[in-house]
């Protein structure tokens, strides 16, 4: 068994301030019935790969918190980034370390930021991704989410033809609309055949996003940030498209199983170019004949819990559209998200519409829902002890 | 010296929730540079009456808190109401107890809820009130505030002719507009001659309030709820207009300086009719030829700190009209009141307009400024431990 799953939990999540802090990033917050996004993501990989093939990549400074939250994660399967260097460095590190240990490794990367349901369907679809990567040495597999609106905060995958012509032909009679796929999933193999990705489009302007949304999910999917590939294939991509990063990663991987691991990691990792895997590898690979970027559609309930409004979407609503967690009392208020993180603290609202109110013991946020993006800006102005 | 001053501090102040609580009413909150309304009111009576002639009437259950906040108040000068019975009972009790001890007592009653400045002017004007009551055995003296707008939350005094014809004649050359009075105050005797009160108008509808405001402060003043009279005169009023209350008060006063004080107070006080002094006495007295209700104008900065918007008026504002107390960080917000009562707690706001945000350790309020009246309603729905 050469399959591995690595959870990417390196984000800082300033947009969930004041709940998230520098030393308590959003992935570690027990926001979902007492469980964190990281715990949910870790549990999702169960049965997809052997238990000791589940890895977590996160900030080295969060090591203790991550291990405490995941008692079944071996400390050896924790990849601690000495500094945040975006996804190329994080994914590259995981790829290089696993490739050095297991040249036939097929690795899946899964951001911790997502809620995905139902989990059984998720596993079936990710398994299909593993299969595609195993059967196609040149394939870089992404997972595409069916857009539920013209979001400007996500990247889009423009889909081309089927990756596997035969598989496609066999299904040609299937309906081309995504809604039908949904019905199809349990009835057939549990997956939709992988498609080639013609183009990566980073967070588009509103107009483009609307065009993509109108075009439908046979044409455009959201880039989920989940990937599967053979470690050797990805290393070859990095070598071609970002040779300096490749060299750095090989240096780190070479010292990994020696006493020099920590010193080399600390010296080299922070020098790696800070760039996303999409820009650095996926885009050029999608235009390079030596590789094929594939998208496996994932027609499931999917939520990137990257902001308070997104979190609100995970909460039950009252009949005025308020989502609330913790002790609260809402009078003539509508469309609010009210979170009290301290079980002894009550948050009351009167006549409030579309507000986010989040209370924590040392800081309270009151923010218009349509201004949630500005929490990042606020964060920078906070005194360090509140960051 | 037969002058006495009694501070009325019996309000519950639910409208300043979550700062005010049942056991910590607003008069006791250190909202003003660390001083409470009660402390400010107590200090205002300094030099007006001998120190041991300063009394406080408040809920018996707040005795310890009141005495702790006023180290110079003798426990004997604390009148503890066994239950809240509105102003006739509270003022009647003070009047009866003082009349029994000093038949020549002239007593001023001053609600603790007000901020008044400058204090020197205040003292001059109250002294004039004492003088009027001393020289006119039939006079019930009120103090009238020049309206700053068509408020519907206050009572109005409709003014008649001068109480003292000679004093008035001597000043007839003075301008009739209130703005001129303001200038006049320091230049002349520090007071404006007392006027007869033709009518008490309780909280009027908007239309009436606007009419009164337009009519000007020579015609209508706000009823400040401050009074001065000979104790004997007021007792006579109560005897005539509310004989049952009079009997009760006399029973209590008769036992006051005996071991039966507490038992009689506890037995009788809660049976007294719950009614305001304005309705019960001042209105009928203003229509009764045996008494004269007078108003001494008090052309000073005066604020009834009965609500969060009123409290906001006491705070410095930033250039976007935000008033803030305690740790805060406001981004693109305007017209807000943000109070953090815990020095270690920060309240942050983004994109908020005209909101009240008040944080206390166990409860946070977020309320539209124009809905502040509904805090009373919210209060009733709170769990008892937060009331």
Per-residue pLDDT at B353: 97
Average pLDDT over residues A218-234: 97
Per-residue pLDDT at A165: 62
Domain end residue (candidates: B304, B327, B353)? B304
For residues A194 and A289, membership in a common domain is answered with yes
**pLDDT score of B314 more than 90:** no
Chain A positions in Cβ-Cβ contact with residue B357 (cut-off 8 Å): 364, 366
For residues A137 and A285, membership in a common domain is answered with yes
Nearest to A351 among B329, B351, B371 (CB): B371
Nearest to B364 among A348, A375, A378 (CB): A348
Under a CB-based contact definition with an 8 Å cutoff, are residues B269 and B129 in contact? no
Per-residue pLDDT at A315: 84
CA B303 to CA B37: how far, in whole Å? 11
**Phi, psi of B225, deg, nearest 5:** 80, 5
For residues B231 and B318, membership in a common domain is answered with no
**pLDDT score of B174 more than 50:** no
A313 by DSSP, 3-state: which?
Answer: coil
Average pLDDT over residues B99-116: 96
Sign of CA dihedral B126, B132, B135, B137: negative
Taking CA atoms, A50 is separated from A28, A46, A99, A130, B317, in Å, by: 23, 8, 17, 14, 62
Average pLDDT over residues A335-342: 94
For residues A168 and A279, membership in a common domain is answered with yes
Per-residue pLDDT at B190: 56
For residues A102 and A225, membership in a common domain is answered with yes
Per-residue pLDDT at B224: 95
**pLDDT score of B69 more than 60:** yes
Average pLDDT over residues A338-351: 95
Interface test with B, best of A342, A362, A363, A384 (most B CBs within 10 A): A363
Under a CB-based contact definition with an 8 Å cutoff, are residues B208 and B175 in contact? no
Q: Which pLDDT tens digit goes with each residue over B73-88?
A: 999 999 999 999 999 9
Angstroms from B283 CA to nearest CA on chain A: 37
**Angle subtended at Cα B382 by Cα B376 and Cα B385, rounded to the nearest 5 degrees:** 120
**pLDDT score of B167 more than 80:** no
DSSP letter assigned to residue A291: -
pTM, full prediction: 0.79
Strands A139-145 and A323-325: unpaired
Nearest to A355 among B331, B362, B366 (CB): B366
Contact B346 A329 (CB under 8 A): no
Domain end residue (candidates: B248, B277, B304)? B304
Per-residue pLDDT at A369: 96
Per-residue pLDDT at B305: 87
For residues B91 and B229, membership in a common domain is answered with yes
Contact B329 A377 (CB under 8 A): no
Taking CA atoms, B373 is separated from A351, B14, B353, B354, in Å, by: 11, 10, 18, 14
**pLDDT score of A183 more than 70:** no
Contact A329 B382 (CB under 8 A): yes
Per-residue pLDDT at A153: 84
Per-residue pLDDT at B170: 40
Per-residue pLDDT at B220: 96
For residues B288 and B352, membership in a common domain is answered with no
**CA nearest A252: which of A64, A12, A80, A105?**
A80
Average pLDDT over residues A342-369: 96
Smallest CA–CA distance from A370 into chain B, residue: B351
CATH number, position A200: 3.90.550.10
Least confident range from A58-62, A181-185, A215-219, A313-317: namely A181-185
Angstroms from B323 CA to nearest CA on chain A: 15
Q: Pick A134 or A34 by higher pLDDT.
A: A134
**pLDDT score of A190 more than 90:** no
Angstroms from A27 CA to nearest CA on chain B: 23
Supply the ipTM of this predicted assembly: 0.79
The per-residue pLDDT of chain B, averaged, comes to 91
| Helical packing angle, B178-187 and B119-135, nearest 10° | 90
Contact A332 B365 (CB under 8 A): no
For residues B323 and B241, membership in a common domain is answered with no
Taking CA atoms, B336 is separated from A43, B100, B351, in Å, by: 44, 50, 10
Chain A positions in Cβ-Cβ contact with residue B329 (cut-off 8 Å): 378, 381-382
Q: Which pLDDT tens digit goes with each residue over A73-130?
A: 999 999 999 999 999 999 999 999 999 999 999 999 999 999 999 999 999 999 999 9
For residues B59 and B93, membership in a common domain is answered with yes
Q: Pick A214 or B314 by higher pLDDT.
A: A214
Interface test with B, best of A14, A322, A337, A350 (most B CBs within 10 A): A350
Contact B363 A382 (CB under 8 A): no
For residues B177 and B48, membership in a common domain is answered with yes
Average pLDDT over residues A179-194: 49
Per-residue pLDDT at A188: 39
Residues of A with CB under 8 A from a CB of B: 18, 329, 331-332, 340, 344-352, 355, 357, 359, 361-368, 370-372, 374-375, 377-378, 381-383, 386
Which parts of chain B fold into alpha helices (H)?
37-44, 63-69, 86-101, 119-135, 165-170, 178-187, 206-215, 231-241, 243-256, 261-268, 277, 283-286, 308-312, 375-381
Between chain A and chain B, how many beta carbons pairs sit less than 8 Å apart?
117
**CA nearest A374: which of A15, A12, A11?**
A15
Say which residue the tokens 């992988």 belong to.
Answer: A194
**pLDDT score of A355 more than 90:** yes
Chain B positions in Cβ-Cβ contact with residue A383 (cut-off 8 Å): 346
CA B81 to CA B96: how far, in whole Å? 14
Domain end residue (candidates: A242, A275, A304)? A304
What's the alpha-carbon Rg for chain B, to the nearest Å?
21
Q: How many CA atoms lie within 13 A of B276 on its CB side?
A: 13
Contact B351 A365 (CB under 8 A): no
Smallest CA–CA distance from B360 into chain A, residue: A345
Percent of chain B with pLDDT over 70: 93
Average pLDDT over residues A342-370: 96
Average pLDDT over residues B95-117: 96
Per-residue pLDDT at A164: 77
**pLDDT score of B267 more than 70:** yes
Range of the domain at A101: 3-304
Confidence of residue A171 (pLDDT cuts 50, 70, 90): very low
Chain A positions in Cβ-Cβ contact with residue B387 (cut-off 8 Å): none
Q: How many CA atoms lie within 13 A of B48 on its CB side?
A: 31
Q: What are B301's strand-pairing partners? A: B117
CA B199 to CA B82: how far, in whole Å? 32
For residues A193 and A268, membership in a common domain is answered with yes
Smallest CA–CA distance from B350 into chain A, residue: A367
Smallest CA–CA distance from A338 into chain B, residue: B366
Confidence of residue A306 (pLDDT cuts 50, 70, 90): confident
Domain count, chain B: 2
CB neighbours of residue A300 within 10 Å:
20
**pLDDT score of A365 more than 50:** yes
**pLDDT score of B186 more than 50:** no
Per DSSP, chain B holds a count of helices (H) and strands (E) of 14, 17
CA A150 to CA A148: how far, in whole Å? 7
Q: What is the distance, to the nearest Å, from the Cα of residue A232 to the centroid of all Cα atoms in its chain?
A: 22
For residues A243 and A345, membership in a common domain is answered with no
Under a CB-based contact definition with an 8 Å cutoff, are residues B87 and B242 in contact? no
Residues 6+ apart with CB under 8 A from B115: B32, B37, B40, B301, B302, B303, B305, B314
Q: What are B297's strand-pairing partners? A: B144
Under a CB-based contact definition with an 8 Å cutoff, are residues A330 and A175 in contact? no
**pLDDT score of A291 more than 60:** yes
Confidence of residue B264 (pLDDT cuts 50, 70, 90): very high
Residues 6+ apart with CB under 8 A from A154: A145, A147, A203, A222, A223, A304
Nearest to B381 among A329, A344, A351 (CB): A329
Chain B positions in Cβ-Cβ contact with residue A370 (cut-off 8 Å): 351
């Amino acid at each position: 068994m050469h399959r591995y799953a690595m959870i990417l939990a390196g984000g800082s999540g300033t947009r969930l301030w004041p709940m998230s802090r520098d030393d308590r990033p959003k992935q570690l917050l027990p926001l979902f019935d007492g469980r964190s996004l990281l715990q949910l993501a870790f549990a999702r990989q169960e049965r997809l790969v052997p238990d000791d093939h589940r890895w977590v990549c996160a900030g080295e400074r969060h090591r203790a918190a991550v291990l405490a939250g995941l008692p079944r994660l071996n400390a050896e399967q924790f990849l601690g980034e000495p500094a945040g260097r975006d996804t190329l460095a994080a994914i590259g590190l995981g790829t290089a370390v696993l490739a050095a240990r297991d040249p036939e490794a097929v690795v899946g990367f899964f951001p911790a930021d997502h809620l995905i349901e139902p989990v059984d369907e998720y596993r079936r679809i990710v398994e299909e991704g593993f299969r595609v990567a195993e059967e196609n040495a040149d394939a870089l597999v992404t997972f595409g989410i069916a857009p539920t609106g013209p979001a400007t905060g996500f990247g889009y995958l423009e889909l081309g033809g089927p990756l596997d012509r035969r598989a496609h032909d066999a299904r040609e009679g299937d309906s081309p609309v995504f809604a039908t796929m949904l019905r199809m999933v349990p009835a057939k193999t549990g997956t939709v055949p992988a498609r080639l990705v013609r183009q990566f489009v980073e967070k588009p302007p509103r107009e483009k996003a609307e065009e993509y949304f109108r075009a439908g999910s046979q044409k455009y999917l959201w880039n989920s940030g989940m990937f599967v590939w053979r470690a050797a294939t990805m290393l070859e991509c990095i070598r071609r498209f970002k040779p300096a990063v490749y060299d750095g990663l090989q240096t780190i991987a070479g010292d990994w199983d020696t006493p020099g691991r920590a010193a080399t990691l600390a010296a080299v990792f922070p020098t790696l170019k800070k760039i996303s895997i999409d820009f650095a590898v996926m885009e050029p690979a999608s235009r390079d004949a030596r590789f094929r970027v594939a998208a496996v559609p994932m027609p499931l309930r999917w939520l990137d819990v990257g902001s308070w409004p997104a979190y609100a979407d995970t909460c039950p609503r009252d009949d005025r559209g308020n989502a609330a967690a913790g002790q609260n009392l809402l009078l003539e208020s509508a469309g609010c998200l009210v979170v009290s993180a301290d079980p002894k603290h009550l948050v009351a609202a009167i006549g409030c519409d579309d507000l986010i109110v989040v209370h924590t013991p040392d800081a309270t946020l009151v923010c218009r829902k349509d201004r949630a993006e500005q929490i990042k800006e606020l964060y920078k102005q906070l005194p360090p002890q509140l960051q």
